[in-house]
Homo-oligomer: A and B are copies of this chain.
Amino acid sequence: MGAGSPTLRAARDEAARGLRGMLGADVPFADAVSRDGALVAGTPAGSPAIAALDLGADLGKVGDEGFLIRPATIAGKRATVLAANTDVGVLYGVFRLLQRLQAGHPVDASSVVEAPRIRHRVLNHWDNLDRTVERGYAGFSLWDWHKLPDYVDPRIVDYARANASIGINGTVLTNVNANATSLLPEYLGKAAALAGALRPYGIRVYLTARFSAPVEIGALKTADPLDPEVAAWWKRKADEIYAFIPDFGGFLVKANSEGQPGPQDYGRSHAAGANVLADAVAPHGGVVMWRAFVYSNDVPDDRAKQAFAEFQPLDGQFRPNVLVQVKNGPIDFQPREPFHPLFGAMPKTPLMMEFQVTQEYLGFATHLVYLAPLFEEVLRADTHAKGAGSTVARVIDGSLHGHARTGIAGVANVGTDRNWCGGVFACANWHAFGRLAWDHSLTSDAIADEWIRGTLGSDPALVAAVKEMMLGSREAAVDYMTPLGLHHLMAEGHHYGPGPWVKEARRADWTSVYYHRADAGGIGFDRTPTGSNAVAQYLPPVADAFSRLDTVPEKYLLWFHRVGWGHRMASGRTLWEELVGRYHAGVEAVRRMQATWRSLEGRVDAERFEQVRAFLAIQEKEARWWRDASVLYFQAFSGKPLPEGYERPEHDLAWYQAIRKRYVPGH
C-alpha cells in the first residue's frame, strides 16, 4: 500500500493495531505477497497488486465509499484482498474486517461486498461555542474552540476513528440553534483545523447557518433571501468558507422554529430560504440540510400537523442540492412516535432522516435504552407512497423516488466524558446510528451483537445476556414513561423526569395537558377526522389503519385516539388497567436488567461493571418516579383504584409535583 495518502496511512495503522490486538501477531499488510496470510489492500489506481486482480466488475458495484473483501491466491500464496475505488473505501473495509474478526470470522474466510445505502451520513452536534451542549449528557463539547486552531486535541482523531469505523462521513460542528459567530473568519479558522484532523477519516465538516447572519455579522439591513445583497453576501461567505475548508460539506439550518430567524420573517417560504444558501454553496459542491422541524407560534392547530402543512406544498421548489431534514416522528424524539407523515409525501425532494442519538427524552445517559429498535421501527415503517413496501428507509435512501443525493443525521450524544457518551451503553446508540446509516437493513439484534463483542467481550453467555438487556430496553422505557401512544409528558424545559401535569408554558403545545387531554371522560389526542385529523397527512392505507380503533396498533392508541378509561384493550383489560400494567411492566423490565447485570459480575471489568450497576439503580429509581407520578396523576381523572397486585406509590401526587430539579445538564 506504500506511504499513500493520509487516509491510506490511517487504514494501514488501523489494520496493524487491530489485527495485532486481536490476533496477537502482525499480519503483513503488503502489496507484493511473499508468504501466506497477507492482507493485500488498496485501490486499482494505487496498488499494482490490486490492479492485477482485475476486480473491475465487482468494484463497479461499490461506488466511491464501498469495498470488497475476499480470499485470493496471489503468487501462489494465500491472501486476503481488500479492494476499493477510493482510499476511504479501503479504510472502511479495514474497519469491517476488524469487526468481522471480532464476531469470529477468520480473516481469510471473509468475503464481503459493501457499499453504503445513503450518501450523507452525518452527526449533528448541538454544541455551543461556550462548550455547553444542548441536550448533551456526556460532559461538554469536544471542540475546544479556545485552543483551536493552534492545538487540536488528540481526542479529535479518536472521534474521527470511531466515526469512520461505523461509516459516518460528516459532522455538523455547531448547534442548530445557531450562532452567527461561528461564521466569522476567526471561527472558520478553528473549524478548518478540526476539518484537517477529520479529513483523513473521510469526514467532512458542516456548519449551522444562522439565517440572520447577514444582519448580525454582515452589516446588512435585511436577511431577506430574495434580496440580491443577501444572496451576494451568502455567496461571498460560502467562498470564504471554502477557502478555509475546501471540502466543506455545507449548511444545516433551523429556521422559523422555536425562535430562530428564518425566511418567513420576510414573508418568504422555507424553499426561498433554503435556495439562497444552496445557490451559495452549489459551485463548491456543498449541500443545504434544511430542517422541517418547524412549528409556528401563531398556529393553534395540532402541532403534529405543522411540519407537513408547511413543507409538503413546497415539494419541487427546492434546489437540487437541498435536502429537507425530517425528524423521525411528527412531534419531537419521543420514546415512541409514528413515522413522520412527510416521508413519502415529498417525492420531488430528497428527505433526510433526523434521529436523536442523545437521549433527551429517554432518560439521558444514565438510562440503558438501546435505540436501534426505535430507529429500525421507523425505517421499516411503510409509507405506502408507491404501494406496499414503500418503507421510510426507501424514501431516505432515494430508491423509492429516484434520488441520488440522500442523507441521514443523528443528533450526537458525544462529549468530553472519558467514555465519550456519558455511559457505557449510551455508546451503543452512536454505534447503532452509524451502522444503520450505512446499511438500514441491519437488525437491532445484529448490531447489538457486534457492539457487545467490540465493547464488552465475546463470551457467548455474556453476549446473550447483554443483548437481551439491550433489545428489551426501549420498550421498557416506553412503558415506564409514555405507554400506549402517550407523548410529551416530561418535565418542562430540561425534560428530566415526568411532568404530565405541566399546563402553564409560553405556548400551549409546550405543555403536557395539550397532548394527553386526560379528564374524567378519558385520555388521548383525537387525531382522527373527528379531531385534528392529523391522520389525513398519511397515505390512505396508513391513514385508515391509524384512524380506526379496531386497526390502530395499541402502541399508537392514545397518539391518534381519545378513548374512555373503560375502553377494552386486546388483553381484555380496560384502558386504565392496561395503562397501569404498562407502567409497572416498565419498572419490572428495568429490574430484570438489573438482575441480569448482577449475574455478569466478574465477566466485565470492575469499573464498567460498577458504572452500569449504578446507572441501572438510577434508572430503576427514575422508572418508579415516572410510573408513580404518572399513575397517580392519571388516577385523579380515571377515578379508579390501582388494581390489586401492584406496588403502591411511595408518595402522594403532590410530593411528585413538588420535585424541582436544579442544574440539569443539557438544558
Seen from chain A, the residues whose Cβ lies within 8 Å of a Cβ on chain B are 129-131, 139-140, 145-147, 150-151, 154-155, 181, 186, 366, 416, 418, 607, 610-611, 614-615, 617-618, 621, 662-665
Please name all residues of chain B whose beta carbon is closer than 8 Å to the beta carbon of A617 when the two chains form the complex: 150
- Complex CA gap A610/B151 in Å reads 9
**A130-B607 CB under 8 A given contacts A150-B617, A618-B151:** no
Could you show 28 A-B contacts with beta carbons less than 8 Å apart? Answer: A129-B662, A129-B663, A130-B663, A131-B140, A131-B663, A131-B665, A139-B139, A139-B140, A140-B140, A140-B416, A146-B663, A146-B664, A147-B366, A147-B618, A150-B614, A150-B617, A150-B618, A150-B621, A151-B611, A151-B614, A151-B615, A154-B610, A155-B418, A181-B662, A181-B663, A186-B662, A416-B416, A418-B418
Q: Known A-B contacts: A150-B618, A181-B663. Give 12 more (CB < 8 A).
A: A129-B663, A130-B663, A139-B416, A146-B665, A147-B618, A150-B614, A150-B617, A151-B366, A151-B611, A151-B614, A181-B662, A416-B416
Shortest distance between the CB of A190 and any CB in chain B (Å) = 10
- Complex CA gap A154/B146 in Å reads 28
Oligomeric state, in copies: 2
Which 4 pairs of residues, A with B, have the shortest CB-CB distance?
A151-B614, A129-B663, A150-B618, A130-B663
- Complex CA gap A154/B611 in Å reads 9
Closest residue of chain B to A184 (Cβ to Cβ) is B662
Shortest distance between the CB of A189 and any CB in chain B (Å) = 13
Please name all residues of chain B whose beta carbon is closer than 8 Å to the beta carbon of A129 when the two chains form the complex: 662-663
- Complex CA gap A501/B617 in Å reads 56
Shortest distance between the CB of A604 and any CB in chain B (Å) = 15
Q: Are A663 and B614 in contact (CB under 8 A)?
A: no
- Complex CA gap A579/B366 in Å reads 57
Please name all residues of chain B whose beta carbon is closer than 8 Å to the beta carbon of A416 when the two chains form the complex: 139-140, 416
- Complex CA gap A665/B618 in Å reads 32
- Complex CA gap A416/B366 in Å reads 19
Shortest distance between the CB of A621 and any CB in chain B (Å) = 7
Please name all residues of chain B whose beta carbon is closer than 8 Å to the beta carbon of A147 when the two chains form the complex: 366, 618
Closest residue of chain B to A155 (Cβ to Cβ) is B418
Identify which of A151, A610, A664 gathers the most chain B CB atoms within 10 Å of its CB: A151
- Complex CA gap A537/B312 in Å reads 77
Shortest distance between the CB of A136 and any CB in chain B (Å) = 11
Shortest distance between the CB of A96 and any CB in chain B (Å) = 28
- Complex CA gap A662/B189 in Å reads 14
Shortest distance between the CB of A509 and any CB in chain B (Å) = 27
- Complex CA gap A186/B154 in Å reads 37
Please name all residues of chain B whose beta carbon is closer than 8 Å to the beta carbon of A618 when the two chains form the complex: 147, 150-151
Please name all residues of chain B whose beta carbon is closer than 8 Å to the beta carbon of A150 when the two chains form the complex: 614, 617-618, 621
Please name all residues of chain B whose beta carbon is closer than 8 Å to the beta carbon of A662 when the two chains form the complex: 129, 181, 186
Shortest distance between the CB of A636 and any CB in chain B (Å) = 27
- Complex CA gap A516/B366 in Å reads 53
